[in-house]
Amino acid sequence: MINFEPMSLLSIVIPAYNEAKTIHLILDKIQDVQLIGGFQKEIIIVDDCSKDGTFEVLMQYHKQNPGLKLNISRHERNMGKGAALHSGIHMAKGDITVIQDADLEYDPHEYNILLKPFVDGVADVVYGSRFMGGNPHRILFFWHSIGNKFLTFLSNMFTNLNLTDMETCYKMFNTNMLQSLKLQERRFGFEPEVTAKIARVNGIRIYEVGISYYGRTFEEGKKIGWKDGFRAIYCILKYNFFR
């Protein structure tokens, strides 16, 4: 059990690629959040060599908000979401780390839902599930929903976990444990890889809580596609069955 100090820190890791239109909005939402348990926030953004001015928007935002604990890094070439997450996780200094997308699909005001099991001293990892609870969930793609549930089912078969949403963005971890993992996937394979590897940590305490989901269409900037689904299947097999 971890006893958090009154000034414990939550590291918020945000991989960003061509999110100039929304990155300032998600940062505004994060600033508005008052965390439970005396937690403070540090925000770590890794710009994965965006072409739309995301990095410039970030630097301007930082200049306009000098009191914000904001750490901005940039890849010199596009390396993928997973690679951006690896960079951000390495930079994290908080007791707890949460993954946040740069778009507006997930609501930072729900950090406290994920944080509560940590504050209560019962969790080492908490996943935010889009498929449980009574929170708002935008209705979009039938086959994406089926695909997510299939990937979660397949992952659960090998990890022996009973997750409802392995592919969720909102994952919160004990930082020391997360940084001890040797993560390899550079694109969207991060989700099944990290799930497979935390499942093998001795004595790990994993929780799942219901969250909202404000999904976006491809026209609105959604990037994940069917090829990433096949890669996820490969990663589930690679990091579980063939390890």
Span 72-89, pLDDT tens digits: 999 999 999 999 999 999
State residue 222's pLDDT score.
53
Span 220-240, pLDDT tens digits: 555 566 577 788 899 999 999
| Separation of alpha carbons 188 and 89, rounded Å | 15
Residue 137 near residue 129, CB atoms below 8 Å: no
State residue 41 phi and psi, 5-degree precision. -120, 140
State residue 148's pLDDT score.
84
Question: Of all residues in the chain, what percent carry a pLDDT higher than 90?
Answer: 77
| Separation of alpha carbons 5 and 38, rounded Å | 8
Query: What mean pLDDT value characterizes the chain?
Result: 90
Span 174-219, pLDDT tens digits: 999 999 999 999 888 999 999 999 999 999 999 999 999 987 555 5
State residue 232's pLDDT score.
85
Angle at 169 between CA 144 and CA 74, to 5 degrees: 115
Q: Average pLDDT, stretch 137-148?
A: 71
Span 150-170, pLDDT tens digits: 999 999 999 999 999 999 999
| Separation of alpha carbons 209 and 72, rounded Å | 29
The structure's pTM equals 0.90
| Separation of alpha carbons 77 and 67, rounded Å | 29
Query: Is the torsion defined by CA of 131, 103, 109, 79 positive or negative?
Result: positive
The H or E element containing residue 42 is strand 40-47
Q: Where are the alpha helices (DSSP H) in 128-237?
A: 142-159, 175-180, 190-199, 226-236
Asked if the model's pLDDT at residue 45 lies above 90, the reply is yes
